[in-house]
Amino acid sequence: MLGVNDNKLYSNLLIFKFKNFSLEYPEEIREILAYSENSGDLKELEILNTLGKCDYKKVFILGLGTTEEFNSVKLMRALGSAVKSIKNSIEDLDILDNLREDFGYNIGQVLELSLYKFKGIKQKEINVKLQKVNVISSCKDEISKGFIVGNSVNFVRNLVSLPSNYVTPKYIAQQAENIAKEGNLDIKIIDKYMLEQMGMNAILYVGKGSLHSPRLVALQYFGDSSSKEITAIIGKGVTFDSGGITLKPGKGMENMVSDMAGAASVLGTMKALSKLRPKKNIIALIPTVENMPSGNAYKPGDVITTYCGKTVQVISTDAEGRLILCDAIAYAKELGATNIIDIATLTGSCSQFLGGINAGLLSNSDELANSIINTGKEVGENFWRLPNNPEYLEQLKTDSADLKNSGTSCGAIVAGLFLESFAEDVNFAHLDIAGCAGSASGSDLYDAGATGMPTRTLIELLMK
């Protein structure tokens, strides 16, 4: 249970300490600090047993470094690492917030993110011991907004971690309906039969091999009737990717349940924005399919007429994400989007050369690309811009169609340019999160597992 109150509730206390600046503390806490050896270095955590000298049993002193170098990202790293280190050793905690008001937003996020634990599908749940946290603060609104963002990111992390026999295209659509109902958003679920009538053949072809019918989910939030600016966020929703006829190796294929992380991040973004209510116009599109081999599956060599009329020759059925996204991009243009951002676990090549440190970014707009990169830095998520020279598209030329769905090298760049060709003159950014959607080792904020990236960046970008 997380909350914000003006006074003490629990038996343990966490306070902040700078290396070069003295914060204000209650008198009884100042007396306890006389026994402290904490120098204030970033992430330095000291535990003092009060021996009855104040109302708290233990006081946790957390270093924040120097004020000159301090920022919201460092606060989140320090507080996240502290909460992670103590969350299975104590049952309750007060946190004294005596920082600037705007840092309350970050405190709220950190508590949600660092206390989260994926519970799996187990007969007996194993929960985090620290269940009661109270922030002693007058900044209730900012901290509560942080709770909303952190909770939405945890929704993403949970959805990405669930197995594909639970998370099907139908399940994705149901989650979108729940968010729409809860947040009073407009929603349209375009099912298989409507996709056929509309000519969304790329989405249909990828889903042909599965017993689970494909869908295109459309959520709308219009918060500024005076503006013609509309941002479309599009998430790849492949609930399981076997590779199709171009079958992936068996080793590690169980991890392909997370190939819908882009879709999950879009859902989480809309979940948060429906509560934060920015003055923006936003369309969220989620093409969701299962990519399976069968007698009905699409095949290498097939030529697909996409929604916008362009034809695509299939070289690899394992290059399926760009196919479902290209139909959604064309639909976003039809709906009037002036900015389009797609989010996808798209290519292994991006994961290999950027790892889990940066997500790949390809864009035809310097302004949009810089906005994403700078917003990412503000929240601690990193993006590396890829080149988009038209020469890379030479790899996608074919006599059989307007373009192929796979090239021979520079996979992440070529895949991004494939998608950019469907956006044409609309401001477009492609985020390849293949290496960043999950973490084997975790971080200061997260346990190992799904990260929810780039949900926080998207929320901040759309709140500005």
What are the residue boundaries of the structural domains of the chain, listed by start? 2-138, 150-463
Residue 97 is predicted with a pLDDT of: 97
Per-residue pLDDT of the chain (464 residues; tens, 9 = 90+): 899 998 999 999 999 999 999 999 999 999 999 899 999 999 999 999 998 889 999 999 999 999 999 999 999 999 999 999 999 999 999 999 999 999 999 999 999 999 999 999 999 988 999 999 999 999 999 999 999 999 999 999 999 999 999 999 999 999 999 999 999 999 999 999 999 999 999 999 999 999 999 999 999 999 999 999 999 999 999 999 999 999 999 999 999 999 999 999 999 999 999 999 999 999 999 999 999 999 999 999 999 999 999 999 999 999 999 999 999 999 999 999 999 999 999 999 999 999 999 999 999 999 999 999 999 999 999 999 999 999 999 999 999 999 999 999 999 999 999 999 999 999 999 999 999 999 999 999 999 999 999 999 999 999 99
| pLDDT (0 to 100) of residue 126 | 87
| CATH tag, 2-138 | 3.40.220.10
3-state secondary structure 111-139: HHHHHCCCCCCCCCCCCCCCCEEEEECCC
Q: Report, at the CATH architecture level, how domain 150-463 is classified.
A: 3-Layer(aba) Sandwich (3.40)
**Active-site residue, from 43, 53, 140, 248:** 248
What gap in Å lies between CA 198 and CA 188, rounded to an integer?
Answer: 14
Q: Dihedral of CA 219/222/228/231: which sign?
A: negative
Cβ-contact 41, 63 below 8 angstroms: yes
Q: How many angstroms separate the CA atoms of 284 and 230, rounded?
A: 11
Q: Bridge-partner residues for 312, per DSSP?
A: 304, 403
In the chain, count of helices (H) and strands (E)?
A: 13, 20
Q: Mutual orientation of helices 72-86 and 366-379 as an angle, nearest 10°? A: 40
pLDDT of residue 125: 86
- Residue 248 annotated in active site: yes
Catalytic residue among 322, 333, 404, 456: 322
d(CA 157, CA 444): 16
7: helix, coil or strand?
A: coil
